[in-house]
Each structure stands twice: as C-alpha cells, then as structure tokens.
Amino acid sequence: MAARSSKSTKNSLAFACDHNHDTCIEEALENARLVCEQSGERFTDLRMQVFELVWAGHKPVKAYDLLSELSAKRSGVAPATVYRTLDFLQAQGLVHKLESLNAYLGCSQPKQVHQGHFLICESCEIVRELESKAFNKSISEVEDKQDFQVKHMTVELFGLCAKCQGQNVDPTGNL
C-alpha cells in the first residue's frame, strides 16, 4: 500500500470525509512507531490502543471517553493510566490537547516541530490542524518586539466549516 504524504493526510482531514479512514489510521500508526523509535521510546500496546482511539473519529476526544472505550478492551485501566499515556503521546508530538475542549486530537504533522493551530467547527465538531507561515511569522515578530520566548502555544479558532455554513447551521447545531 503506497503511503500518502503528510500534506495529503492533512488535506484529507480538512473538514472532509472523502478519505480512506483505514489507510489514514495505518499511516498515523506507522508515523507514531517511527517517532517513538527515533526518540528511543517504546510504542507499547497500551500507547498504540490509546493512540488509535484518539484517531478513530478525527474529532476531539476526552480522556474519560478514552477510558470508557479502553476499559471495554482491557481490564484494570485507571484514569491515571490514560492520562499518563496521553501525556506521553503529547510529549512525542503525536497528539495535541485542545485546551478549551479539554480533549485530545491526533497530530497530522508528528514528524515536524510545530505549534498547534486549529480550526474547530462548532456545529459538526470537526477539527482541522492549520499550518500558517504568516501566523507563525506574526508570533515571531511579537516575540522579538516583546523580548519574549514562547515555549508552548495552542491557538483554537471556532466557527463553522464550509459544509455547516452551506447547511445554515447555527453554532448550537440547530437548522
């Protein structure tokens, strides 16, 4: 099976549903294995299961929802185990935490060092990881002018995706 470039993966998640989900998850898992291998970390069965659950719907997922799904597959899974696993995946750059939603999302660019910028549809809850050179340049200019070094940043922009705009959906999900 031919691997798609990270750009095609990123675009396939851009508020679209016309991608091969199985291939998408296979590619994400392979990238996760490589990232862990390159950093000298183990991609254990538990880490893989949590990672797969995060990627399952391409929507933000809360830790307790992961715990519930994981408990159906494994016995004796505690909340702390899920949080430690999510912390590991986040430290490896494999998932992002969406602070305002207190939820996690698979990273579409795990092999690249970057800050998280997200477009979040308030209606269908689809999230797109955004890469913007202009935005990054603006942040760099602020850092320079303020003599400040940003260590971590997550930008979450809420609105309606093109599909939901076309359906005249209000942010509460009503037509």
Q: What is the predicted pLDDT for the residue at 19?
A: 58
User: Is the backbone of residue 130 left (phi > 0), alpha (psi -120 to 50) or beta?
Assistant: beta
Q: What is the predicted pLDDT for the residue at 97?
A: 93
The alpha carbon of 54 is separated from its chain's Cα centroid by a whole number of angstroms, namely 8
Condensed to tens digits (0 to 9), the pLDDT of residues 119-173 reads 999 998 888 888 888 888 899 999 999 999 988 788 899 999 999 998 865 555 5
Residue 98 pLDDT grade (very low, low, confident, very high; cuts 50, 70, 90): very high
Name all domains of the chain by residue range, CATH numbers in brackets: 6-166 (1.10.10.10)
Are 74 and 49 in contact, with CB atoms under 8 Å apart? yes
